[in-house]
Chains A and B, each alone.
Chain A
Amino acid sequence: MLGEAIIKGMAVTAKNFFGSYVSKERLPTVQYPEERLVPKENARQFPFLVYDGDDWEKGLRCVSCQICEKECPPKCIYIIKSKDKKPDYKGQAQFYPARFDIDISVCMSCGICAEVCPFESIKMDTEFELSTGDRFGGLLLPKEKLAKSNEHYRKVHPTDAAASDAVLAAEIAKAEAKAKAAAEAKVKADAEKKPA
């Protein structure tokens, strides 16, 4: 009633003013270019293409099935399927993308491409410092720029990468079991054929 509350309020702001010089709690700003926070694990910016091994061209998981291209809401993915085939991670002959472009000026970082990909080959990255002077060419990323190693994926999203690795390991195991069964069946068939 008589102005006590004003004095109380002034005390609060004074505490904040002087506190900001001594306590980190009262000054939580991170001065970005010099200091930076570690990105959160479930952060996502733009998609990238995962490859296994050392050679990105050889190890690219993408088989150019074009599901992501069709699912992409803003239609920022552009794929041309290859004419020939090359072996994938389990040795099976597959198509590969002759061309794979993502226009990150159109991309809205929804992550649908990563969710629909049945080959664990397109994933979301956490890289955000992508500003460029060339707003057309600089933001249209070709597959050379999109390809990033599985190690990178393990680093930015450890949990998801582990799950994805497990899926791929199961696929390989299944393929091996199938090959083994096929081989056994063949041996058996050959053995049955022989006496006849």
Chain B
Amino acid sequence: MVESLDQLFVNLKHWALGFLPEALQPLVSAVLSIVPLVAVFGGLFAIVTIFERKGLGRIQNRYGPNRVGIPFTDIRLAGFGQFIPDGIKALIKEDVVPRAADKVVHFLAPVVLLIPVLLTYAVLPIGRNMTVVDFDAGVLFFFSVGAAVEISVFMAGWSSRNKYSLLGAMRGIAQMISYEIPLILSAVTVIMLVGSLKTSDIVAAQAGFTAGLPNWFVLTPWGFAGFVMFLIAALAESNRAPFDLPEAESELIAGYFTEYSGFKFALFFLGEYLGMFAIIGLGITLFLGGWHAPFPFLTWVPSYVWFMTKLLAIVFFFIWVRGTLPRLRMDQLMSFAWKFMIPMALINLVVAAVWHFMAGTGAARWVVCALLIAGPYVLLGRGLMENKHLGKRTYRFAD
């Protein structure tokens, strides 16, 4: 029973494929894997926008959307129907293209954003046996395809012929390229210790429990540091607050998609959220045990439920961060990436190696690795702040 529930979707697909002739099966199999994935994550996007607006509202002591429910009825569903009118609005709005814009590139930019983002979902293990294409270079594929997003940002910013768009694109590319390094370096630790780029191998390496706790990489010193850095870099990669400089409503209107309206704007929005889900999904796969249950007595819950729960938990954390932290300045963003994140990620690589070679020494490797991370963290943090003269601002004439 538990087994069949866990493999429900896998078996359903195989059952459906059984009705088809041999020649059609690979093609239909691919379609049957892709369509539900796009539908589920598209739906998740719709729901998460509501969660985000409601969550930010509660953080700011207000309700957020709570009126729209099921259309043509009085059922309000606490506002969870809001995405329907939002979507209709985006669809029926006029699509304005600036006269000076490069029309072809302007049109292609949102498509170029969405395609690599959707491609990254191919290697995410959503559940047991539920990876669309489980191939050997999975993580590498994820990062290389994910990096194509920068092209779209640049296309959108450059083709709009708008200073805000161009500034947004400039910031966006600078930020994405800078934060891709700590993102990949923190992921490399996992790849080093697992010895495989295949996402299903990485999940399999985190199976099982020791002393009631799961064998997730986040529960090791290097894994914890790596996970924190991965989350920070993921925030920056998905252009979310506090790293939302490319969009920066208050300075750049909407950054590189200032000149987009109607459905193209919605596509940018969708692409951004799908990119965030994908990168969170990779974070879960690398550090949070993928679809594995957190406790031995919860292993009966289907694997895809665990994946989605972890995904939503991190999405809520991202919303929480967005509601808390103010936007960084461009130079702060850059110095944080290059002077703090990258050195820490490199140190973390060494720590992961030390962890690997101290296997079998018990508590000693915990102490050594924890010190190896905490020491540089404190020293780097203090050192970077040394000449900053932070504190209460004093005024020469105003006081």
Contact = CB atoms under 8 A, between A and B. Distances in A.
Contact of B381 (A3, A12, A26, A29): A3
Interface stretch (B248-256, B275-283, B317-325): B317-325
Interface residues of A, number: 18
Contacts of A10: 320-321, 324
B20 interface: no
A13 B63 contact: no
Interface stretch (B52-60, B133-141, B191-199, B362-370): B52-60
A2 B62 contact: no
B61 A14 contact: no
Q: What is the interface of chain A mostly: helix, strand, loop, or mixed?
A: helix
B62 A13 contact: no
Interface in A103-139: none
B224 interface: no
Given A1-B385, A2-B378, A2-B381, A28 B61 contact: yes
B377 A17 contact: no
Tier of interface size on chain B:
10 to 19
B358 to A, nearest CB: 26
A27 interface: yes
B320 A27 contact: no
Interface string A1-28: 1110010011011101100110000111
B382 interface: yes
A2 B55 CA distance: 27
Interface of B: 55, 58-63, 320-321, 323-325, 377-378, 381-382, 385
A12 B382 contact: no
A141 to B, nearest CB: 31
A92 B10 CA distance: 95
A17 B59 contact: yes
Nearest to A31: B63
Given A1-B382, A2-B377, A16 B60 contact: yes
A190 to B, nearest CB: 79
A14 B320 contact: yes
Contact of A17 (B55, B63, B382, B385): B55
Contacts of A28: 61
Most chain A CB neighbours (cut-off 10 Å) among B59, B378, B382, B385: B59
A27 B62 contact: yes
B62 A29 contact: yes
Nearest to B67: A31
A3 B323 CA distance: 17
A35 to B, nearest CB: 12
Contact of B324 (A1, A9, A31): A9
Contact of A13 (B59, B377, B378, B385): B59
Contacts of A26: 61
Contacts of A13: 59, 320, 323-324
A31 to B, nearest CB: 7
B242 to A, nearest CB: 9
A16 B381 contact: no
A3 B242 CA distance: 14
Most chain A CB neighbours (cut-off 10 Å) among B55, B324, B325: B324
A21 B58 CA distance: 8
Q: Give the 8 A-B residue pairs with the shortest CB-CB distance, closest first.
A: A2-B381, A13-B324, A20-B58, A17-B58, A13-B59, A9-B324, A1-B385, A17-B59
B320 A16 contact: no
Contacts of B320: 10, 13-14, 17
A1 B379 CA distance: 10
A114 B377 CA distance: 70
A3 B324 CA distance: 13
A6 B231 CA distance: 15
A14 B317 CA distance: 11
B61 A1 contact: no
A28 B325 CA distance: 23
Contacts of B60: 16
A1 B63 CA distance: 34
Given A2-B378, A9-B325, A27-B62, 7 more contacts: A2-B377, A2-B382, A13-B324, A16-B60, A21-B58, A26-B61, A27-B58
Contacts of A6: 324-325
A10 B377 CA distance: 20
A29 B63 contact: yes
13 contacts: A1-B385, A9-B324, A9-B325, A10-B321, A13-B59, A13-B320, A16-B61, A17-B320, A17-B323, A20-B58, A21-B58, A27-B61, A31-B63
Contacts of B62: 27, 29
Contacts of B55: 17
A9 B298 CA distance: 33
A18 to B, nearest CB: 8
A12 B385 contact: no
A31 B382 CA distance: 48
B63 A27 contact: yes
